[in-house]
Amino acid sequence: MKNFKFLLIAVLSGFTLISCKNEKQTQAEKAVADYEMFVDSINNVNAADLKSDWDSIENDHQRRKFAAESALQDLENREEYEGKIMVSSDKYEVYKNSYLAQQPKTVTKSAVRTALFGTNDIGDDMGFSWVNKTNILSVYENFVSTVEKNKDAYSREDWDEIKLLYEALDNRKNTVETEGLSSSDNNKIAGLKIKFAPMYTLNRMGSKAEENSNAKE
């Protein structure tokens, strides 16, 4: 009888673990699929028609990408989903660059860049060729801590510049990962990304609201 009870407990524990794992898998699939569908839907719209809605699209993109990445944190086999997120992120960047190319050119925010990256040459293509597996964690740490320290002083244009730089740094990270980025550094960077995403979204929206309020006065 005791053996039967132990067997029953073991079976029920196994079912619980499987159920928990399946739930995480389902949540991850849903979040990634939501992000993929969002990017695909945006790519079907003419960029010239979206000027008035671009801020909300950017915020929505950041929110959905953050949700998809967060859903993978506790997933063991997440490479497939990370690949899907990367593909959709790249598609969005192509679309975004097409949109920005149609907009009036803005002055480079050299002060913001210097604060975030020092005197390192980012390059006209923002390729971050100097960022490698050895220094990338410190680059992210300085980036996020600098943004956090100055977040109340940034204008809407500053936040737009910060977003462009952040995404360019993220693209460089994708390359560095293939060059031997350690799991420890990768996990720490993931934590910094989770910290940055809501900080950007809330403050970017706040600066836009403040700008609109000032325009009405």
Lowest mean pLDDT among 36-50, 88-102, 186-200: 36-50
Neighbours of 32 (CB within 10 A): 25
- Per-residue confidence (pLDDT) for residue 111, from 0 to 100: 82
Lowest mean pLDDT among 2-16, 40-54, 106-120, 160-174: 2-16
Residues of the chain above pLDDT 70, percent: 79
* Mean pLDDT for all residues in the chain: 80
How much is the pTM? 0.50
What is the rounded average pLDDT of the residues 136-146?
Answer: 95
Helices 136-150/156-177 angle, 10° precision: 160
- Paired tokens of 146: 């600098």
Neighbours of 7 (CB within 10 A): 10
Phi, psi of 155 (to 5 degrees): -90, 175
- Per-residue confidence (pLDDT) for residue 212, from 0 to 100: 45
- Dist CA 215 CA 193 (whole Å): 33
- Dist CA 113 CA 162 (whole Å): 8
Q: What is the pLDDT of residues 108-136, one digit of tens each?
A: 457 888 889 988 877 778 889 999 999 99
- Dist CA 91 CA 115 (whole Å): 29
Q: Are 146 and 115 in contact (CB under 8 A)?
A: yes
pLDDT surpassing 50 at residue 4: no
Q: What is the pLDDT of residues 57-114, one digit of tens each?
A: 888 888 999 988 888 887 777 788 889 999 999 998 888 888 777 766 444 457 888 8
Residues of the chain above pLDDT 90, percent: 36
- Per-residue confidence (pLDDT) for residue 208, from 0 to 100: 53
What is the rounded average pLDDT of the residues 158-176?
Answer: 93
